[in-house]
Amino acid sequence: MQVVFSPGAEIKFEGANNFRELGGYRAADGRQVKYGLLYRGGNLDLLKSEADHARLASLGLREILDLRSAGESAAHPDPAVPGAHYQRVCGMRNADGTEMDFSGQGIERLRQEKEAFERSVGRPVHDFEWFSALYREMPFRNPAYHALFALLEGRRVPVLFHCSCGKDRTGIGAMLILLALGVSRADALADYMLTNVYRREIIERFLADKPAAERDLLLPVEGVSEPMGAGAIDEILRRYPSYEAYFADEFGLDAARLKALRDFYLE
């Protein structure tokens, strides 16, 4: 089912925001990403109405990849979607490789992780700096994104990948897909930044009583930060000569496999 006709447009649900697809973005070779195959979103537990469940079912999903921690998914479990296979692979990891848990149960461990980062840099840091450092590591050796690209190569689509707000773990994953398909860095980053459009009311309520000088640093709590998103994908080019070299090394997408991926997902 073709749901939207412009890249980045939100798919409307009564109970959730920031649900969209990657179709319509133009690749460097002039083709565009096919509609109706690659969906991104947030907490599906917010979809309570019959209309929302019917809308979700109408997408014809074959796969749902949940990028949340076990704690998050237990607190807000995904609804069963007819015909869709569900798997969960956490998209952010602690320094020891265990799942980074953003549920209420994970707060103490998050504090410990930040303190460990501060010890490593030798000074106290704002959460923004710590999270920026986490972002820069997300594209590398990330089991969640390996699972995501395995689904793409296996053509297990339509696929929905999601986290809690559809912005961080999901946002980086979406940028990686777009870059792999030959979409420009600018357009991949623009898609990432659309979270601030679709979560605008939530962001404005959160920042309303915060000091003006702190708002840019606090924006990533409910929205996304362009420096953070850019930092993640630019770290790729700091470590590799090209995005293609990264995809070959990280996911085994050599020239032939990358061409096959693009030929399937572009039109």
Query: Could you tell me the CATH number of the domain that includes residue 135?
Result: 3.90.190.10
The phi and psi torsions of 88 (rounded to 5 degrees) equal: -125, 125
CA separation (Å) from 32 to 5, 7, 26, 185, 225? 12, 10, 4, 15, 26
**pTM (two decimals):** 0.94
CA separation (Å) from 123 to 110, 114, 130? 17, 11, 11
Q: Residue 11: inside a domain, yes or no? A: no
Tell me which amino acid residue 58 is: S
Q: Residue 246: inside a domain, yes or no? A: yes
**By residue range, what is the domain housing residue 171?**
20-265
Q: Residue 110: inside a domain, yes or no? A: yes
Mean pLDDT of residues grouped by 10 in the chain (267 residues)? 70 96 98 98 96 97 98 96 98 95 91 94 94 96 99 99 97 99 98 95 92 87 94 98 99 99 99
Question: Could you give the maximum distance between any two Cα atoms of the chain, in Å?
Answer: 53
Q: Residue 8: inside a domain, yes or no? A: no
Sheet holding 63-66, edge to edge: 20-21, 38-41, 159-162, 63-66, 85-88
Q: Residue 114: inside a domain, yes or no? A: yes
Q: How many domains does the chain have?
A: 1
Q: Residue 142: inside a domain, yes or no? A: yes
What is the number of alpha carbons within 13 Å of residue 211 lying toward its C-beta? 3
> Which runs of E-coded beta strand occur in 98-235?
159-162
Output the pLDDT for position 214. 86
Q: Look-up: residue for tokens 């209420």?
A: 104
Q: Residue 7: inside a domain, yes or no? A: no
Output the CA angle 203-204-205, nearest 5 degrees: 95
Output the pLDDT for position 212. 87
Q: Residue 228: inside a domain, yes or no? A: yes
